[in-house]
Amino acid sequence: MNLNPFGPHIIRQGNVPTVRSLLLALLIAAAVNPAAAAVLSIKVVTPEGRPVADAVVTLKPVDGPATPPKVGRGYRVDQKDIQFHPFVSVVPVGAEVSFPNLDPTKHHVYSFSPAKRFELKLFAKDQSRSVVFDKSGVVSIGCNIHDQMSAYIFVTDTAWTAKTDASGVVTFRDAPARAVTAAVWHPSLRAPGGVMSRQLTPGAAPTTETFTARLRPPPVHGMSAY
């Protein structure tokens, strides 16, 4: 019978476990029982119950900093059919985003947003320019030639960031299993800065939380105040 209260991995010196053996036991326990994660879905709908696509949802722990996102490659915003594609992009801080021109006409891409001010002067079909987004925030972009062109780049500093799909839902399968601030941003949201938020505590069972978004009519031309 094992009478060792610290488990079979503890080596005793007489009746007292050594400091080294205690540290070893803690390391084994940490490996076997990693930090708990929760499955959390966020659903964004209008007051009439219609799903809201292209809403960006972020999670940040209340008791400490969020896990920073990893910076990958291949971030791009295409210019095609005199529009930006996608309309809303999500990238991590430090991402390099390319702006390939797939139209037969020239474009002049720019932003006056505090999170990133830049200007990509005239470039033609099959040419591309790149910008590094080194500060979190919302960046509104436009074309100095075609006023109807507008899009948004959400630059995030938390790994728990995603964009709602056509059904207005985003699911985090690795959400922190503790109190978090869940924030929802959308360019047409009737709220200060286009953001609404509330505190949630994901549990052991998968959870779905619903946010009701009151949206402004989309602008016909020009850029927003972001």
Q: Is 28 helix (H, G, I), strand (E, B) or coil?
A: helix
Span 169-210, pLDDT tens digits: 999 999 999 999 999 999 999 999 999 999 999 888 899 999
Mean pLDDT lowest for which of 7-11, 73-77, 97-101, 168-172?
7-11
Does residue 108 have a pLDDT over 50?
yes
Which distant-in-sequence residues (6+ apart) come within 8 Å of 73 by Cβ?
96
68-91 core/surface letters (b: 16 or more CB in 10 A; e: else)? ebeeeeebbbbbeeebbeeebbbb
The pLDDT of residue 104 is above 90: yes
Per-residue pLDDT at 8: 39
What DSSP letter does each residue of 150-208 carry, written as one string?
Answer: EEEEEEESSS-EEE--TTSEEEEEEEESS-EEEEEE-TTBSSGGGEEEEEE---SS-EE
The DSSP line for 80-113 is: ETTEEESSEEEEETTEEEEEEB-SSS-EEEEEEE
Question: What's the mean pLDDT when you consider all of the chain?
Answer: 86
The whole-number pLDDT of residue 226 equals 57
Provide the β-strand partners of residue 97: 75, 131
Domain ranges of the chain: 1-33, 35-67+158-216, 68-157
pLDDT digits (tens, 9 = 90+) for 9-66: 333 344 444 555 544 544 444 333 345 789 999 999 999 999 999 999 999 999 989 9
Q: How far apart are CA 111 and CA 84, in angstroms?
A: 13
Fold identical between 35-67+158-216 and 68-157? yes
Strand 16-17 to strand 161-163: parallel, antiparallel, or no bridges (unpaired)? unpaired
Cα–Cα dist 142/144, whole Å: 7
- Which of 197, 160, 180, 177 shows the shortest CA–CA distance to 44? 197
Tell me the pLDDT band of 223, cut-offs 50, 70 and 90: low
pLDDT digits (tens, 9 = 90+) for 210-219: 999 999 987 6
Q: Hey, what CATH class is 68-157 in?
A: mainly beta
CA distance 156 to 162: 10
Q: Nearest Cα to 170, choosing from 58, 64, 7?
A: 58
**CATH number at 35-67+158-216:** 2.60.40.10
> In angstroms, rounded to a whole number, what is the distance separating the alpha carbons of residues 29 and 16?
20
Alpha carbon distance, N-terminus to C-terminus of the chain: 68
| Element spanning 32, H or E | helix 19-32
